[in-house]
Amino acid sequence: MSKSGGLDPDAEVCCPPGALLHEPLSATAAADMAVKLKALADPVRLQLFSAIASHAGGEACVCDISAGVEVSQPTVSHHLKVLRDAGLLTSQRRASWVYYAVVPDALASLTALLDATAGAPS
């Protein structure tokens, strides 16, 4: 992972669409996914992640997403760092603001994991 919170472009995507329907996760992929799920397991982080993912343009600065979150600004920054470290967000500084965006591959792998049971036979 880069210092800006981005993913290693040479790293393989955890869960390509449909992969979970054909074979179980490898130990490495399961560990990677567990980090992402653990980061999202906190209600404040899930709220922040959702606010960024649904924000117009696919990116947002802290001032756009911290309204409605009942924690202090330093706590918001901490939660955003956890999401970045988990590979769920990227960040980019523009003047005095930092803009956050959801990592598309991370969102795709989460979708594939959670969608796997939807396509499984009952």
User: Backbone phi, then psi, for 5, in 5-degree steps?
Assistant: 95, 5
E strands along 3-120, which residues? 59-61, 89-94, 97-102
The token pair at 8 is 């290693």
Contact 103, 7 (CB under 8 A): yes
Residue 45, SS3 per DSSP: helix
pLDDT at 31 over 60: yes
63 close to 51: Cβ distance less than 8 angstroms: no
pLDDT tens digits for range 46-93? 999 999 999 988 899 988 888 888 899 899 999 999 999 999 999 999
Beta pairing partners, 92: 99
Inform me whether the pLDDT recorded for 12 exceeds 60. no
Question: What percent of the chain has pLDDT above 70?
Answer: 76
Q: Evaluate if pTM is beyond 0.85.
A: no
Model pLDDT, residue 111:
85
Q: Give the pLDDT confidence score for residue 84 in this predicted structure.
A: 97
